[in-house]
Amino acid sequence: MSAGVCVYSRVSRTRQARVSRIFLASKSPRRRELLRQLGVAFEILDPDVPEQRAPGESPTDYVSRVAREKARAGLLQVGAVPHALVIGADTEVVLDGEVFGKPDGPEDAAAMLRRLAGRTHEVLSAVWVVSSGREEGAVQATKVRFDALDEATVAAYVAGGEPFGKAGAYAIQGRAAAFIPCIEGSYSSVMGLPLHETACLLARFDCAPDASVIDNGSRAKL
């Protein structure tokens, strides 16, 4: 998949009601930080969704499905909230058609970094916005170039702990920025939430940024 965006839309016959509360179905502090930049008030949900790629499932379909399932699982948690709107997202690193998820441990992280070194890979980030009667989503693809990395650099980066909990075993907003000479696409998407696509989806649900929003992203109180 070349750098760009795929957009999905699923609307039921139920008319979309006015949204009163927005929820982010993610425990990622990076997504929370990014969503704050859009100036929308939101609350945090932590749904438990398996992240297992199905046989024959393309990387794009996989990342989109997981993001949609997170949003749907979050919506189930807030079913009693009138006009709830839930955002779900997922990010994966892809090289040679293989999806690199979060590393299982130091050896796995080092192996991922060795494979990414000196090559250009793709980062796919999907975002879905769902309500009781409507679902819309998008997938953003960004190309990321890695410098060659020697063993000492890989070992030091892994020892620092930054690779863990990150797709592809690196964080572009952290020390791994030194490994990346260029990207083609969306920086926020590589971090974990494509902000342009998220803003466009929220606008389609009539959710506009609010300049008065200073702090948000608290855990939902249902």
Q: For residue range 107-134, what is the model confidence (pLDDT) as tens digits? A: 999 999 999 999 999 999 999 999 998 9
What's the per-residue H, E or C state across 8-36? EEEECCCCCCCCCEEEEECCCHHHHHHHH
Mean predicted lDDT score pLDDT of the chain:
89
Q: What pLDDT is stored for residue 134 in this prediction?
A: 93
Residues 6+ apart with CB under 8 A from 110: 154, 155, 158, 169
- Can 147 be counted among the known catalytic residues? no
Residue 41 · residue 217 · CB < 8 Å: no
The fraction of the chain above a pLDDT of 70, given in percent, is 84
Packing angle between helix 106-116 and helix 151-159, nearest 10 degrees? 140
The Cα–Cα gap between 99 and 123 comes to 9
Active-site option among 90, 96, 147, 206: 90
Per-residue confidence (pLDDT) for residue 5, from 0 to 100: 65
pTM for the structure as a whole? 0.86
Q: What is the predicted pLDDT for the residue at 79?
A: 83
pLDDT classification of 87: cutoffs 50, 70, 90 = very high
Segment 8-25 mean pLDDT:
62
* Closest C-alpha among 72, 19, 42, 11 to residue 221: 42
Percentage of the chain exceeding pLDDT 90: 76
pLDDT digit string, tens, across residues 29-76: 999 999 999 998 999 999 999 989 999 999 999 999 999 999 999 999
Annotation: CATH topology of 4-213? Maf protein (3.90.950)
Domain edges within the chain? 4-213
pLDDT for residue 185 is more than 70? yes
